[in-house]
Structure 1
Amino acid sequence: MLSTILLWISCCTISTLAQEATRYFPETPIGCSLENNCPAEWPCCSQFGQCGTGPFCVGGCNPRLSHDPGSCLGQPALLPRMSPSFWLQSSLEQKPALKSSFLPRVQPSMDVASNEGGEKDLNNRGIVNFANFLISPQERIIKKMLRDYHFTYSGFVKYDAPGQLTLAMPKHTSGSLISSTRSFLYGRATVKMKTARGRGVVTAVVLISTVGDEIDFEFIGGELHHAQSNYYHQGELNHTRMEKLELSSDSFENTHIYEVDWDQDRINWIVDGVVARTLYKEDTWNEEKQRYEYPQTPMRLQVSVWPGGREDADPGTIMWAGGLIDWENSPDILEKGQFYATVESIAVTPYENKFWPSIVDELERLHLPIDANSLLDITYDYNYDKFNEHTWFEDSVIWKKGKLPYLSSLDKNGLNPGRQQQSLLVGKQLKQEQGDGPDQSPSNRFIQDTNKPSEKNHEEQDLLLRNALQSRDATTNGGSSHNNRNPIKRLLNMLH
């Protein structure tokens, strides 16, 4: 099934410098599909099928469904690592370019330690709120984000102890999501974790591209000895491809290692080092449409916990998830006040693809070393000069270098990113922008209480949920991230 995340986005946000409210999606949600692209005033179609600006234009922005494909910001590229003797041997190291156990980069102060799990603590562990990422008028801060932040998050994410990044779902909330900040075209993604448990509770490990290619592991909270494997092509709904994989032990009580090994010819789903399923590209040929329905566009890695058994979910979703969630008497609700999954570590090893030789040639032409700084401004994008609904394949992917991906404020998009400044702010404004620590988010700070959602927010969430459902029902699912098991797929994370 498609990446199933039911999260809430703030209905309004505050710019630290401007001190005024800035909306980045309309009060009445607007859904997007191939038949209903986003309007000019809300040009970007988020991964979750809703139109907006700012954060909606970063990360999972879908160029097929946006007002203009260029409204979406280019995707920072995760590229292969090189061996020290690269220039002599032209050899690549098959080592992760992204590897994290979420340990702090700097020793936290007493103040941060007392607020364990808060925004500052997550920032120090390489995790930033999705609505902050790549949004700042300061070039140096964009560079710092690209260097320091490996994941964005939304929902109730907290670091509890070594090996325990908790993705929580408190009572009557919509769960949590972390997503890699960079995309890769072919590679091996590894997640070491324990899944959530409980009837109707779903945990997902997903590779997903901006145009709807997807490779999944999904875990039903009432079936803890099985994982579901699946894949999707360009957001098209085909529920016949799922295969159940047997696990050696309970996925909530025991840590397992889940891996997707994806190259241009085949996909392996791997559990605890053993290949459990293989899909070959040649077996995905669609004779009627004369094309391979195989994931072949740059992907981000996402891990989430979400309520498949929510009361207002589609009946098919509730049935698939094992029934309605018991928000009052489930063991984890009684003991901890929340459902939760714990992630111990994540690693991604990008593979060499057809673009890599030209990237190397360009760096050589510019007399630049192949290191993190030289690769900082390389992004994946699409050739928008010749696009239509049938051309979103590897052949339509391009790479770019020379311009940092950024938006100067929440109301900007890829076609109008705003003005970027290189000079430093001084005095009080600089302190506000940087925060108190070395790894804080810049302007447009969003402080989130990740422990106790307010009753007021619950009422607002329910209203937005109904609006989102109505928007979903009024649009088709052609190319958008909806399906019968996942009725909303809205990024609507109400922040305090």
Structure 2
Amino acid sequence: MKHTYSLSAALAATFSLTLAQSAAPPTIPTCGVNNLCGKDTPCCSQYGQCGVGAYCLGGCDPRYSYDLQSCVAAPVCKSSDYKLTSLDDVQQNNVYLGDSSNTNWVSSGTPVVYNNQAVLLTMAPDTVGTLLMSTHYVWYGQISATMTTSQGAGVVTAFILMSDVHDEIDFEFVGVDLEHAQSNYYFQGITDYDNEQNLTVSNTVSNTHTYMVDWQPDALTWYIDGKAMRTKNRNETWNATTQQYHYPQSPSRVQLSLWPAGLSKNGQGTIDWSGGLVDWSSPYMQNGYYYASVSEVKVNCYNPPSGFANNNGNKAYYYDSTFGTNDTVCTGNNNTVLASFFATGDNMKEDPNASASASAKTSAATASATPQTVPGIAGGGNAGNAGSTTDTSSGSSGSGNNPGTNGDTGSGSNQGGGNTQFSQGVTQGSSSSQAAPGTKVTTGSAIALVGFFVACLML
């Protein structure tokens, strides 16, 4: 029997441990099943906390927010070929207010430009790595990433699709197994131990590969370098207990990440799956950090599913029900931009700095980022207080030449997280784990409960 974890569930558990260790003030209200956010902090983040501002943007879970309008509508799919050769198109999550016309990616942690060829996802000691999230959502389409992974015990690289209701489609790479990509999927974060399947690939660190998901309403196919490796049909996912198809079916963000699954505060099943505890003095680190490299992401949007009847515009996705299923998704001309980090979907124009000059407002907006306005400032995600470093070394990205060894201005400084966690895809349970059968099942059950508490899936 395969033992795997849903991404959201595992990182939700990590977050809950961090929260319990006083990383986040107890005054931040929590949200989850039968526990909706209140009117003053109406938006339920992917970390299971209620707030305003960035809490109401990407990752905001409408099921546990104050009402369906609390979460800001999500920008619709945009077909594009994104060349990740600079940070010009990346905005930190404590700056981004929802204007997808100005930026296509939001960052947490410390992305680093490598030699004008790629963006490195870095992970230094005392951080939880780096996460890039697309500002535009995808509701069916072809989505690919050209990348290399990191390596080492406890180190996980991920390329996933994640919806606000925690539908999930994954490529994940465990740093102790460089010959497999783990494919996985989830419906609303519900743990299913039979969803994961290993796909054979040549060395994921020294060789650059293109990983692609072809996501259609009735079938899901994983590709590596243009070769179909696995297909899952929707009609194979029927669950007799819930009387639903447990198939990813809601608008999702593209997420690329590098994160430390092998932390001592994580569950033993998570640690075992990832190959053990992270070694922060590993030779796989360069300039003080682990790294993965992403050079290109392509998105080819598909039309809404046949019979789609909730077309009220073409700018944004939103839900007309807390069920969060395919038939509750709507498109409209909704505003997607908040006036400040104090605004919400219920009050888009709230801005205590409205009388300030434009430049002063920008500064004030960033400075006003708090645990209640930006998820991750304390305990629930990576605050993203870095992201402008540049690597100018002469090595070749993705060639196994250790980018960053000859002059990275980032210098491996411990920026962007401390003891925080961000949410991203975690499909745990690999044939390389060597964990004793039963260990992961027990841990997974506990994680699943926490996952449901926070909306389930995560940093």
Taking structure 1 as the reference length, the TM-score comes to 0.70
- Runs (5+) with no aligned partner, structure 2: 16-23, 370-383, 388-409, 423-445
- 8 Å contact kept, 1:163–1:345: no
Find out whether 1:102 has 2:84 as its counterpart: yes
Q: Distance in 2 between matches of 1:263 and 1:64?
A: 24
Q: Which residue of 2 aligns with 1:11?
A: none
Could you tell me which residue of structure 2 aligns to residue 305 of structure 1? 258
Work out the CA distance in 1 between the residues paired with 2:111 and 2:257: 10
Q: Which residue of structure 1 lines up, in the alignment, with residue 177 of structure 2?
A: 223
**Contact 1:63-1:69 within 8 A present in 2 as well:** yes
CA deviations 1:370-405 (Å, max 9, x no partner) are: xxxxx6xx110011xxx35xx32111011111x421
Task: Give the secondary-structure state (helix, strand or coil) at the position aligned to 2:55.
Answer: helix
Q: What's the CA shift for 1:48?
A: 2.7
2 CA distance for matches of 1:69 and 1:413?
A: 12
CA distance in 1, matches of 2:92, 2:100: 14
Q: 1:351 to 1:40 in 2, by over 3 A?
A: same
* Alignment-derived partner of residue 284 in structure 2: 332
Q: Cα gap change, 1:481/1:271 in structure 2, threshold over 3 Å: closer, same or farther?
A: farther
CA distance in 1, matches of 2:117, 2:233: 34
1:355: how far off? 8.3
Higher helix proportion, which one?
1
Is 231-240 or 275-284 further displaced after alignment?
A: 231-240
Identity, in percent, stands at 33
In the superposition, the TM-score normalised over structure 2's length comes to 0.75
Q: Deviations over 1:291-330 (max 9, x none)?
A: 21111111111011111001111111101111111112x1
2:61/2:164 contact within 8 Å kept: yes
User: 2: CA distance between counterparts of 1:3 and 1:133?
Assistant: 24
- Is residue 153–residue 279 contact of structure 2 (8 Å, CA) maintained in 1? yes
Cα offset for 1:416? 1.5
Give the equivalent residue in structure 2 for 1:17. Answer: none
Could you say which structure has the larger radius of gyration?
Answer: 1
Aligned amino acid, residue 283 of structure 1: E
Amino acid at match of 2:63: R
Q: Does 1:317 align with 2:321?
A: no
Displacement after TM superposition at 1:336 (Å) = 2.2
Q: Is 1:379 equivalent to 2:325 in the alignment?
A: no
Describe the SS at the equivalent of 1:349.
Answer: strand
Conservation of the 8 A alpha-carbon contact between 1:172 and 1:327: no
The residue aligned with 2:343 is 412
Equivalent position of 2:45 in the other structure = 46
Task: Identify which range, 126-135 or 343-352, moves more after superposition.
Answer: 126-135
- Checking the alignment, whether the CA contact within 8 Å between 1:175 and 1:304 is kept in structure 2 is yes
Work out the CA distance in 1 between the residues paired with 2:416 and 2:299: 39
The 2-side partners of 1:352 and 1:474 are apart by 33
Q: Compare relative contact order (CA 8 Å, sep 6+) and give the higher one, 1 or 2.
A: 2
Q: How far does residue 239 in structure 1 lie from its aligned partner after superposition?
A: 2.1
Change (3 A) 1:198 1:454: closer
Q: CA deviation at 1:476?
A: 4.3
Once the two structures are superposed, residues 66-111 of structure 1 have per-residue CA deviations (whole angstroms, 9 ceiling, x without a partner) of 22232111001115xxxxxxxxxxxxxxxxx12211345xxxxxxx
Question: CA 1:474–1:167 in structure 2 vs 1: closer, same or farther (change >3 Å)?
Answer: closer
How far the C-alpha of 1:30 sits from its partner, in A, is 4.0
Question: Which residue in 2 is equivalent to 1:269?
Answer: 222
CA–CA distance in 2 between the matches of 1:58 and 1:71?
Answer: 9
| Cα distance in 2 between the residues matched to 1:462 and 1:180 | 21
- Determine which of 284, 302, 325 is the counterpart of 1:393: 325
Q: Is the 8 A contact 2:137 2:253 kept in 1?
A: yes
Distance 1:353 1:163 in 2: 34
1:170 aligns with 2:124: yes
**Counterpart pick for 1:132 among 95, 99, 103:** 95
- Match for residue 77 of structure 2? 78
In structure 2, do the counterparts of structure 1 residues 474 and 219 end up closer, same or farther at CA, with 3 Å as the change threshold?
A: closer
Counterpart in the other structure of 2:21: none
Residue of structure 2 equivalent to 1:59: 58
The answer as to whether partners of 1:190 and 1:346 remain within 8 angstroms in 2 is: yes
Q: Does 2:233 align with 1:280? A: yes
Distance (whole Å) between structure 2 residues aligned to residue 306 and residue 357 of structure 1: 37
Partners of 1:264 and 1:281 within 8 A in 2: yes
Q: Find the partner of 1:293 among 246, 250, 262.
A: 246
SS in 1 for 2:101: helix
Question: 1:238, CA displacement in angstroms?
Answer: 1.4
Q: Secondary structure at the match of 1:331?
A: coil
Deviation at 1:290, TM superposition (A): 1.8
Q: Quote the residue 1:139 is aligned against.
A: none
Matched residue type, 2:207: N
Offset at residue 463 of structure 1 (A): 12
Question: Contact (CA 8 Å) 1:54, 1:407: kept in 2 or not?
Answer: yes
Where structure 1 has 5 or more consecutive residues not aligned to the other structure, the ranges are 9-24, 80-96, 105-121, 136-144, 364-374, 436-441, 465-471, 484-488, 492-496
SS in 2 for 1:152: strand
Q: Write the deviation string for residues 343-373 of structure 1: whole angstroms up to 9, x where unpaired.
A: 01011111011489989x988xxxxxxxxxx
Is residue 6–residue 190 contact of structure 2 (8 Å, CA) maintained in 1? Answer: no
The 5-angstrom pairing of residues 471-486 of structure 1 reads: 476-478=450-452, 480=454
Q: 2:317, 2:173 → 1: CA distance?
A: 30
Alpha-carbon distance change, 3 to 149 in structure 1, aligned in 2, over 3 angstroms: farther
Partner Cα separation in structure 1 for residue 416 and residue 301 of structure 2:
44
Within the candidate set 340, 348, 366, 1:444 is matched to 366
Given the superposition, is the C-alpha separation of residues 430 and 408 from structure 1 closer, same or farther in structure 2, using an over 3 Å criterion?
closer
Alignment CA distance shift 1:417-1:130 (3 Å): same
Aligned-residue Cα RMSD (Å) equals 3.3
Q: Return the offset for 1:186.
A: 0.5
Report the alpha carbon displacement of residue 277 of structure 1 after superposing the two structures with TM. Answer: 0.5
Q: Distance in 2 between matches of 1:341 and 1:208?
A: 20
Deviation track 1:96-132 (CA, whole Å, cap 9, x = no partner) reads: x12211345xxxxxxxxxxxxxxxxx2xx21111222
Q: Deviations over 1:121-167 (max 9, x none)?
A: x2xx21111222226xxxxxxxxx42221110000111122332011
Contact 1:26 1:42 in 2 (8 A): no
